[in-house]
Amino acid sequence: MEITNELIDDLAKNAQLSASCFNYQPWNYVFVYEKEILTKLFDALKESNLWAKKASMIIAVISKKELDCVIGKSREYYLFDTGMATANMILRGTELGLVMHPIAGYSHSKAKEILGIPEEMVLITLIIVGKKTDDLSELTEKQKISEGKRPLRKALNEFVHHNHY
């Protein structure tokens, strides 16, 4: 899959549209698509995510508490606001026919070092970007099974509350 500046701008503009506390827009993204840097970043992946080595791009999602609202002593909005912006980006990518899969299975410190992310920034997730494929050879058996069907979801009554908790 070819990664172009137009594609990156399109994805970023959809993140940019997101609401945020006082419009602080705390999100930062590193779009990694150069082969040399991608290869280094692949080495930061955990064994369960080796399938991601076929990615055309990885997007590092970054923020920090000080970039957004903190209401009172504990209501920190940066993760929520960055998550909403990132969801907009993922929805746009899906619209364009991409597969955009956020992962947690990577070495946080190694990825930050490879990408030159400052220590004070939080690397929230890596998003693996590519095209859908029928080649499942890199997946574990469990991953192959879940790839064929939507994972079970909680029943609505487990998380939807009416008028009080």
In order of start, what are the domains of the chain with their CATH numbers? 5-152 (3.40.109.10)
Contact 90, 101 (CB under 8 A): no
pLDDT above 90 for 150:
no
Instruction: Determine the Cα–Cα distance for residues 62 and 60; give it in Å rounded to an integer.
Output: 6
CA contacts within 13 A on the Cβ side of 13: 6
What is this structure's pTM? 0.88
Please choose, from the candidates 17, 36, 37, 41, the residue with its C-alpha nearest in 3D space to the C-alpha of residue 27: 17
Q: Give the separation between CA 31 and CA 37, rounded to whole angstroms.
A: 11
d(CA 70, CA 59): 26
Q: Report the distance separating Cα 96 and Cα 6, nearest Å.
A: 12
pLDDT attached to residue 151: 77
In this structure, of 39-43, 45-49, 78-82, 130-134, the range with the lowest mean pLDDT score is 130-134
Q: How far apart are CA 22 and CA 69, in angstroms?
A: 7
